[in-house]
Structures are given as C-alpha cells and as structure tokens.
Amino acid sequence: MLNIGEGLIQLHTRDTSYILYTGRQGLPECLHYGGRIGVDDAAPLLPKVEAGYGGDVVCRDGQAALSSLRLDLSPVNRGDYRAPALLAELPGGATTADYRFQTSRQLKEAPAAGMPHGREPDEVLALDFAEPGGLQVELFYSVFCEANVITRRMRVTNRCAGPVRLLRCLSYQLDLPGRDYELYNLTGAWARETQLTRRPLAPGILRFGNGTGASGNRVNPFFFLARRGAGETTGEVYGFNLVYSGSHEGSVEVDGFCRTRVSQGLWSEGFSWPLAPGQSFTTPEAVLTFSDKGFDGMSQNMHHFVKNHIIPPRWRNAPRPVLVNNWEGTYFNFNEGKLLAMARVAAKLGAELFVLDDGWFGERNSDKAGLGDYDVNRKKLPGGLSGLAGRVNALGMDFGLWVEPEMVNRDSKLYRAHPDWAVVSPGVTPATGRHQLVLDICRPEVREYIINSVNATLDSANISYVKWDMNRHISDNYSPALEDQGQFHHSYILGLYELLRGICEARPDILFEGCASGGNRYDLGMLYYMPQFWISDDSDAHERQRIQTGASYGYPPCTMGCHVSAVPNHQTLRVTALETRFHTAMFGLLGYELDMTALTRSQRADVKAQIAYYKAHRKLLQFGEFHRLKSPFEEAGCRWMVCSPDGDEALVGDFLGLMVPNADEPPMRLAHLDPEALYEIAVRPMKIDIETFGGLINYILPVHLNPDGLLVRTAGKFYRMDTEAERYTASGSLLCRAGLARMQNFSGAGYSDSLRFLHDFASRAYYLRRLDDPYTAT
C-alpha cells in the first residue's frame, strides 16, 4: 500500500513498512524500514536532529549535517562521507552533486531497460531528483505485498549541457539505525557453492561481490543481515538480492555514528558508463525484504517472491519432471545404443524426461573441441536428434538437450570462420577456461547468430527441456562494439538477456534449466527466464546437504536441480547410501545422473520405489513451504521439512553426519505444525543390504557365514532386511514442543527389529498427515 502526504511517503507490505521523508533539505530520508506500523502512526518518526557535530559539514545553512541522516540517495562531496550508491563525473570533470527532490509519481511498472525484474508488483513509486547541472535521478520502489518485498532500482538521465560518465551506479543504498547486525553471505567455489558465511559488523566497510562476469559461485548476490540474537525462527532479519546475472557487489558500512549503510548493485571496479545528453542508464532491480520471524521468516518471503514474481508464469504451478541425465554416466563417451539402453531402464523405473548432456555435436569428444558447432555428430547419433528424441518419446519419456551457446572452442568450425567473434583484448592472447573462449555477445551479429542457431537446433527435434550451460569465468574484457570498455561486463549481461528473450521467452513451453559449471550463475536474473538451475556440479549427498541448505536461505527448492549420482561420488570419492542420495535430492527437483544400466536388480527396485514415492509427494515437495530444522552450518547432521500451504501434510528429511556410538538421541523436534491438530507420522520404508552388517551377520543369522563369501553375496541378492517400521499418531504441540521419541539407534550391541540401523551419512524420511477426525485415529 502506498500513502503519500506532507513529505511522508509510506510503502506497506503485509508485514513490513518502508517510510520515507522528503520534507527536509529535499532529500529522501529513510525514517523506518522494518516491521509494519499503522498508516496513521508514522508522524512521530519525523526527524528531530537539527545540527551537526564538531567538524561536520552542513550542505544547507541551518540544516542537519548529511552524515546524521539516513538517506536513500546521497549528494556527493556535500558532507555524507559514507560510500554513495551513485557517483558520476559531470561535464567539466566535477563529481560534486547536490540532488533535490522534485516530485513523486505512482506508476504501473518501473522501467525494465531490457533486464529481468519482479513481475506483477502491487504498486510502484517513482521519486524524482535533479542536480543543478542537469543530472536527473529517479528512484523506483515496487511493492510486492504478500511477499513482503520492496524492490528498488535507479535511473539516471543526463540533462546536462555536456557528456556525463557514471563511475558507480548501484541499485540502492539503505541506511539502518544501529550496527547491531551480523552479515550472512553465500560464498564458495566450483562444486562448493552457497556456503553460509557469518560476520559480525564493526565500524568500517565490508565490501563483497563477484567480478568474474557472472553472478558467481564465489559470492552469490543474495545476502542477509540479522540483528544480533536473531535465529532460525526469531529475531529481525533483512534479506537482499539482485535480479541480475553478472558481476555484482554489495557493501555494509558502519559509520562513526554507528549507523549501517547497505548498498548493492553492479560491480564498480572498472565500471564506467558514458551518458551523452539525453541518454539514461537504469540499474538492475534489487530485492529487499524484512522479517521479525528469524531466518526462516526472511526465507519464506524470498521464496514467495521467487515462486510468484520471478520464475516464468508458465512454470509457477507446473510439476517438474523426474529426469535422467547421462553426463556422469557416460561423459563424452556414448552412442545412440548406449543412450537408449539407459533410457529404457530409466523409463521402466518411472523417469519422465531423458536429458542428453554435452558431447552430441561437432567434434565434441572432449572439452577441447567442438563448442560452437551445433550440428549433430552422426557417428554417435546416426538418426540425428530427431531420431533419438523419437525413440525416447516412444519409451514414454520427454527428451531434453544440453547447450552452451555463449562459448566457443578454438578447435571449432565457428571459431575458424569467425575468430574475431571471441572476446579478446587487443594485442593480448586471451586466457582460456576449460579450453574455451567467450563469444562477444555485446555484438549484435554474434547475438543474432546464436539466437538463430540455438532456435534451429530446438526446432530440429521434439525437445521439451534444455540445459543452458556456461562453463568459464569471463576475462580479457573488451568489445569493439563498445564506446567505453567500462561498459563491458554489464553489456555482456544485457546481450545475454537478449539471447534469453530470443530463445527462452520465444519458446515458453520448453523447460529451461540454467547451469554454469553448477551454481556459477544461480541468481534471480537467470530464474526469470529459466525456472530451475543445476546449483552445483557436486552431487555428493553430504556436500549437497550444505549446498542446498545454504541456497535455501534465499531461493526456494523448486528452483534447484538435484540429482542422485553413483558412488564413489565423482567429486568427493565419498560413498553414501543410495537412499540418502535420494532423500537429499528429493527436497529439490529430482533427477538421476548415473549409468542406469549399471544398477543392480535391488538398486533398480530401490530407484523405482524412490521415483514412485517422489511422484506421490511431488506437489508437496515442489510447491510446499520449505523450512530448515537443523543446519549443517551449525551442527552435525541436517534436517529439512516441507509443509503443504494448507498445513495438511508435511515431509521431513533427517540426515546423519558421522555415526557416533551411544550418542545422545534427543526426540526429533519439528516445527510449523498446527499445535491443535493430530498428525500421523510414518517413516519411509527402506531395505538394508545384509552386506551392511559385515561380520555381524553371524550374530543375526542362526548359521555361521563368511561375510565376504559367495553365500552372503548371493543371499544378499535375494534377501534384504527391512528398516525399522515407525508410525505414530501425535499432536502438533507434542511434535513441535517435545519432539518425537524414536526407536533406539543400534550401537554395537544386541540385535532387535526395534532398533534403527544407522551408519555414516544415513538418513530417514518421514511423511506427516493431519488426521481429519482425531477420535478415529489409531
């Protein structure tokens, strides 16, 4: 809700308020951003500070010093010594800029300027400012009521007599009172993305970001600030993100008066953007949220926003298919026969989509050649893509394909024909990453070529899904198409968005999944065009629990591609149980990425049961509300819960780290249930291979057997034990406040079928159902 009167501008979402004041010095002062206050209650917030302190500089005689104000836009070189969101070189070279409020406007939409943005805002406000030399600044605020999100962006227009150069142009600055916060970022590297990193604030600037040309796996654009003492479900938390896929930065600055300035936007190192008179520049949109219900409340807001205002509307409520991807199963070494053998097993086990990964085109038999040449390799696929897709379709599955359109290998027909299309800085041999160069999509002719060639591929067969990859950081920043090379990073991303409009938006029924060596470009900008992302090349279940937990602070699991892969795991060489790999992947968008033909009979039975279980609970898993009950960043183990929005059902995943004998086994406490309701809670039944017990088998069976012998191995093929069968009826209040006491863990002594046999990285899944009539419950 928007309320404008007497210099006070109020933006309200369901549970938050953002109160601005433009009545003093013509500057936008942020009087409050946080929990919701009554529309008629804001007047006492009006500022009372009138004079500066000591050496403070006042920019208007008799008025408060800027350094004591909380400003959404700062005049430059006028006494606010915190880092400003906007820094521009005006005609003649001066950077001093004194902005003054002009007017406020209500709009239907803020300008998108070719960039993705939150869809369908409830209200949009524009605040106009002018600087005496003619630089014009518009601040845009879009309100997303139910998501408790307010987005911000800025447009700068040159109305001066000469050229202007933007030196820094971030999406927002936000001044919060006090410095009593901790900063949480998602940091990492390839195959170790989205690790939660916590830092307390202290006076000074903490600057973070990613300058690799993509939103990056080093520092994701999502971050949050938690007031000291806030935890998973209590306390005040501010969440921030960008709807952007390129280099970005954020900073948190605690000034000498112990106030905290947060700002975020385009990476400013090397950034420089010329504006001729009449030209404008629009920043990417930034996402701000607040919750007084801890990390979980902040995450729920972000999840709601992504699900309802970011991903393409076509996929908002569309169930995503269980897929099988051949990459870790074959790498480049496949032919049609091998793929179809995998597809036949996949279809029998219940998979719905078969995805052909890298290696299907040109001379692409390793990562050294072929990128750029999307003509089918007929030696591998004699029937072409349409032949293979037809056969996969005949098995009852959809067909999907991998592409990496932004890149080229030197050893390719495309590079030989257009060596000048690769990004190269004059006179410097370009750096390579994974043996590939980056195509210069700042250039219109390169974009046109890519759009046509990818669309031709997509039209050549019945393709329902595309994995769009991008496998290296960008270097050698230079494009002959640009007036100023400081425009390079952002122009690349504007070029990328043009590709995504020309390919993804033009084919709304194809399900696109983003990938950038895993999660190197997992951000709201990509999710605007592609509803899901392969968030890490690390498919090890134990590592994935950290990666998925970290990502879940800002992104809902319905955006996370999660695959069951073979063991020993290809990234960590770790061995985890097939059921744990499944339980971990099922909390995202389930897929299998292994050679299905290599599965044993019992593994096939397990996978078939897993896929059936996932399908039975798919709606809950993909569209439910995801919560963290136990974070691997804080303690050993991990526990997740997903609840249906109506509260009628829930699923819990409980993951053990290392097995500790005779460890404390506290009751399993849940959350987010109706305390008054009665629930049935049942563990997912599984089988245990008798080989798991090694020599202990002789204490379980009446006869003596060699644990490594043929007999045990043969028996193991036909006989497997059932895991504990636990099923209880319990009230929501008990489950949340006391917890569920489960059967005892096996701890090296005795055998009984009412023990839970757990081992390193074991896991359990529990399904909860609200009982209609508690009195008939057993």
Note the residues at the interface with ligand GLA (CB under 6 A).
327, 357-358, 402, 469, 471, 515, 517-518, 534, 537
Minimum Å distance from CB 357 to ligand GLA? 5
Minimum Å distance from CB 501 to ligand GLA? 23
Q: And the tokens for 300?
A: 């729920």
CA distances from 462 to 352, 531, 742 (A): 14, 20, 49
Nearer to ligand GLA, 151 or 217 (CB): 217
| Distance in angstroms (rounded) separating the CA atoms of residues 239 and 290 | 6
CA dihedral of residues 235, 241, 247, 248 (deg, nearest 10): -60
E runs forming strands in 211-311: 219-227, 237-242, 248-254, 260-266, 273-275, 280-282, 286-291
| Distance in angstroms (rounded) separating the CA atoms of residues 565 and 599 | 11
- DSSP character for 279? -
């006179």: which residue's tokens?
427
Minimum Å distance from CB 433 to ligand GLA? 11
């020309």: which residue's tokens?
502
Minimum Å distance from CB 358 to ligand GLA? 3
Residue type, 301: N
Nearer to ligand GLA, 533 or 623 (CB): 533
Query: Computed from CA positions of residues 518, 474, 501, 242, in that sequence, does the dihedral angle turn out positive or negative?
Result: positive
Partners of residue 534 on adjacent β-strands: 561
Question: Would you give the end-to-end CA distance of the chain in angstroms?
Answer: 48
Nearer to ligand GLA, 175 or 537 (CB): 537
Minimum Å distance from CB 613 to ligand GLA? 25
Minimum Å distance from CB 524 to ligand GLA? 20
Minimum Å distance from CB 618 to ligand GLA? 23
| Distance in angstroms (rounded) separating the CA atoms of residues 603 and 616 | 20
Residue type, 694: G
Alpha helices in 59-145 (DSSP H): none
Nearer to ligand GLA, 257 or 331 (CB): 331
Minimum Å distance from CB 534 to ligand GLA? 6
**Cα-flanking dihedrals φ and ψ of residue 365, to 5°?**
-105, 0
- Closest residue by Cα to residue 71 from 111, 15, 33: 33
Minimum Å distance from CB 552 to ligand GLA? 20
Q: And the tokens for 304?
A: 């709601």
Nearest residue to ligand GLA, by Cβ distance, number only: 358
Minimum Å distance from CB 249 to ligand GLA? 25
Partners of residue 170 on adjacent β-strands: 265
Catalytic residue among 398, 440, 537, 540: 537
Q: Long-range contacts of range 706-711, CB-CB < 8 Å, 24 or more positions apart? A: none
Confirm whether 523 is a catalytic residue. Answer: no
Nearer to ligand GLA, 135 or 353 (CB): 353
Nearer to ligand GLA, 223 or 402 (CB): 402
Nearer to ligand GLA, 376 or 609 (CB): 376
Asked if residues 362 and 381 have their Cβ atoms less than 8 Å apart, the reply is no
Nearer to ligand GLA, 60 or 435 (CB): 435
Catalytic residue among 255, 469, 538, 606: 469
- Closest residue by Cα to residue 381 from 361, 367, 404: 361
Alpha helices in 501-617 (DSSP H): 524-529, 541-552, 578-586, 601-616
| Distance in angstroms (rounded) separating the CA atoms of residues 89 and 207 | 23
Confirm whether 357 is a catalytic residue. Answer: no
CA distances from 557 to 345, 542, 615, 636, 659 (A): 27, 17, 16, 22, 27
**Beta strands 149-158 and 164-176: pairing type?**
unpaired
CA distances from 703 to 362, 409, 687 (A): 60, 62, 22
Residue type, 764: R
**Beta strands 560-565 and 589-593: pairing type?**
parallel
């590709």: which residue's tokens?
499
Q: Rounded to the nearest 10 degrees, what angle do helices 601-616 and 578-586 cross at? A: 20
| Distance in angstroms (rounded) separating the CA atoms of residues 250 and 280 | 23
Residues with catalytic roles: 469, 537
